[in-house]
C-alpha cells in the first residue's frame, strides 16, 4: 500500500491513465482490498428512490444497473471526504428535494461531479472488455481526456481544502418542474462529451455543465431568470436542457486550472483558471438546425418531430417562449 498523499497534493490519474482498481479514484492510494469501493450514486439516494435495479445503458452497448456502478475508494476518502459530502446532501433533502437549493455552489458542483466522474470511470473500465468494440473508443478521445483532466483538478476539492479564486468551474441550474403522476421520482441524464449532467429528485432538477467556468450560466441568464420562478412543464424542462446541451456542445474554449504555490501556514489550496480560447472564440457559431436536432432528441417523449420544430427555420419551436419572446406558461401539453 503506497503512502497517503500529502494533504494539499493533487492526484493526477491521467498521468498513468490509471482510473480503476486498485487505486482510490480520489487520492490514488493503492487499496488493500479490491472490495474497497463506493457506489457512484450514493446508497442513501438509491435507497430513497429505489434505484439499485435502475437500468443504465453504457456506451459499449451493455446494460448495467445503478447499484452495480461503483468506483474504488480508500477508507480515508470514503469516511472523511465523500461520506460527509453525501451526508450533507442527504440531510439537506431529507424533508424535500427543495433542500438542493440551499446547498452552496461548491457542494452542488462536487456532488454532481462525483457521480459524473464515477460514470466516466465505469465507462472506461467497461471499455477494457467491451461487449461491442466501440467505433470511437473513449480511451482514444484526446479532447475528452483533456476536459476530464481539467475537471478532475477542481473536483479534488472533494478531498483537498480548495478555493476557486474568482470563478466557478461549472454552471449549475436549479429548476422546479411540475411532474405528473406518471413521472418517476428520480431521473438523470449525462453526456460525457459535453460535460453535461442533470439529475432530478422529485420536482427539483439540477442541470449542469461541469466544465465551463459558469459561461453557460452567464449567457443563459435571461432564460434562466425567466424559467426559475415557476414550475416548468416537463416539455419546457426538456427544452431548457436542449439549450444547455447544445450550448455546451458549441463551447470551444476549455478551462484550465492551476494551483497557486503554497505558502507556509496556508489552510487551503487556491486555484486559478485560464480559459484556453486561443482562436478568439468561446462559442462556435449557433445553427438553428443543429439546435432543432438537439430539441428533437429531448422532445422524443412528446413525439415532436424535426419538421414541426423547424416549421419556422429562423425560430425553432419553443414552449419556453411565445413568438413575441414572452415567457409561456404550459399547463397541459399540448394545450398552449
Ligand atoms: Zn483515497
Domain tally, the chain: 1
Residue 188 CA to residue 118 CA, distance in Å, equals: 14
What does the block give as the cell for 138?
473513449
Residues composing the chain: 336
Cα(190) to ligand 1 centroid in Å equals 25
Q: In the prediction, which pLDDT does 139 show?
A: 77
In a domain, 260, yes or no: yes
Distance from the alpha carbon of residue 69 to the mean position of ligand 1, in angstroms: 18
- Terminal-to-terminal C-alpha distance of the chain: 62
Low-confidence spans in the chain with pLDDT less than 70:
1-4, 33-34, 130-132, 277-279, 333-336
pLDDT score, position 335? 43
Cell of 161: 481544502
Residue 257 in any domain: the answer is yes
The pTM is what? 0.94
| Grid cell at residue 264 | 507556509
Range of the domain at 43: 16-309
Helix (H, G, I), strand (E, B) or coil at 163: strand
Does any domain span residue 93? yes
Give the Å distance between the CA of 74 and the centre of ligand 1. Answer: 4
- Nearest of 221, 224, 249 to residue 239 by alpha carbon: 224
Whether 335 maps to a domain, the answer reads no
For residue 1, the model assigns a pLDDT of 42
| Residue 38 Cα to ligand 1 middle (Å) | 11
Distance from the CA of 315 to the center of ligand 1, in angstroms? Answer: 50
Q: What spacing in Å lies between the alpha carbon of 44 and ligand 1's midpoint?
A: 21
Phi and psi at 32, nearest 5°, equal: -65, -45
Determine the distance separating the centroid of ligand 1 and the alpha carbon of 23, expressed in angstroms: 8
72 CA distance to ligand 1 middle (Å): 8
Asked, for residue 9, whether it belongs to a domain, the answer is no
Whether 328 maps to a domain, the answer reads no
* Residue bearing cell 394545450: 335
> Helix H segments across the chain?
13-16, 43-49, 75-76, 83-92, 105-127, 142-155, 215-219, 221-227, 234-250, 288-298, 306-309
Classify residue 317: in a domain, yes or no. no
- Name which of 171, 166, 158, 151 is nearest 260 in CA terms: 166
27 CA to centre of ligand 1 in angstroms = 4
Look at strands 269-276 and 162-164 and give their pairing: parallel
Instruction: Tell me what pLDDT residue 81 has.
Output: 97
Q: Burial, 171: exposed, middle or buried (Cβ in 10 Å; 0-12, 13-18, 19+)?
A: buried
CA of 9 to the centre of ligand 1 (A): 12
Task: Name every residue whose Cβ is closer than 8 Å to that of residue 260 and which is 6 or more positions away in sequence.
Answer: 165, 269, 270, 271, 272
**230 belongs to a structural domain:** yes
Amino acid at each position: 500500500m503506497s503512502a497517503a498523499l500529502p494533504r494539499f497534493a493533487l492526484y493526477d490519474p491521467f498521468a498513468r491513465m490509471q482510473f480503476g482498481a486498485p487505486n482510490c479514484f480520489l487520492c490514488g492510494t493503492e487499496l488493500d482490498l479490491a472490495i474497497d469501493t463506493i457506489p457512484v450514486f450514493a446508497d442513501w439516494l438509491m435507497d430513497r428512490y429505489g434505484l439499485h435495479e435502475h437500468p443504465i445503458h453504457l456506451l459499449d452497448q451493455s446494460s448495467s444497473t445503478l447499484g452495480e456502478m461503483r468506483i474504488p475508494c480508500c477508507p480515508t476518502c470514503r469516511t472523511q471526504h465523500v461520506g460527509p459530502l453525501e451526508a450533507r446532501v442527504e440531510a439537506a433533502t431529507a424533508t424535500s428535494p427543495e433542500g438542493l437549493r440551499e446547498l452552496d455552489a461548491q457542494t452542488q458542483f462536487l456532488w454532481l461531479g462525483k457521480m459524473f466522474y464515477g460514470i466516466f470511470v465505469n465507462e472506461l473500465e467497461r471499455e477494457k472488455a467491451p461487449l461491442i468494440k466501440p467505433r470511437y473508443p473513449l480511451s482514444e478521445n484526446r479532447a475528452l481526456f483533456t476536459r476530464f483532466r481539467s475537471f478532475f483538478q477542481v473536483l479534488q476539492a472533494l478531498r483537498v481544502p480548495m478555493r476557486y479564486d474568482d470563478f466557478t468551474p461549472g454552471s449549475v441550474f436549479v429548476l422546479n418542474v411540475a411532474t405528473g403522476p406518471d413521472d418517476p421520482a428520480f431521473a438523470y441524464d449525462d453526456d460525457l462529451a459535453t460535460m453535461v449532467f442533470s439529475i432530478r429528485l422529485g420536482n427539483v432538477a439540477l442541470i449542469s455543465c461541469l466544465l465551463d467556468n459558469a459561461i453557460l450560466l452567464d449567457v443563459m441568464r435571461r432564460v434562466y431568470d425567466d424559467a426559475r420562478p415557476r414550475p416548468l412543464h416537463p416539455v419546457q424542462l426538456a427544452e431548457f436542457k436542449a439549450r444547455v446541451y447544445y450550448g455546451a456542445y458549441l463551447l470551444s474554449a476549455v478551462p484550465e486550472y492551476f494551483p497557486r504555490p503554497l505558502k507556509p501556514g496556508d489552510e487551503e489550496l487556491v486555484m486559478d483558471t485560464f480559459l484556453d480560447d486561443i482562436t478568439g472564440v468561446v462559442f462556435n457559431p449557433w445553427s438553428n438546425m443543429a439546435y432543432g436536432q438537439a430539441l428533437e432528441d429531448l422532445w422524443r417523449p412528446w413525439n415532436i418531430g424535426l419538421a414541426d420544430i423547424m416549421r419556422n427555420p429562423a425560430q425553432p419551436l419553443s414552449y419556453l417562449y411565445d413568438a413575441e419572446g414572452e415567457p409561456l406558461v404550459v399547463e397541459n401539453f399540448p394545450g398552449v
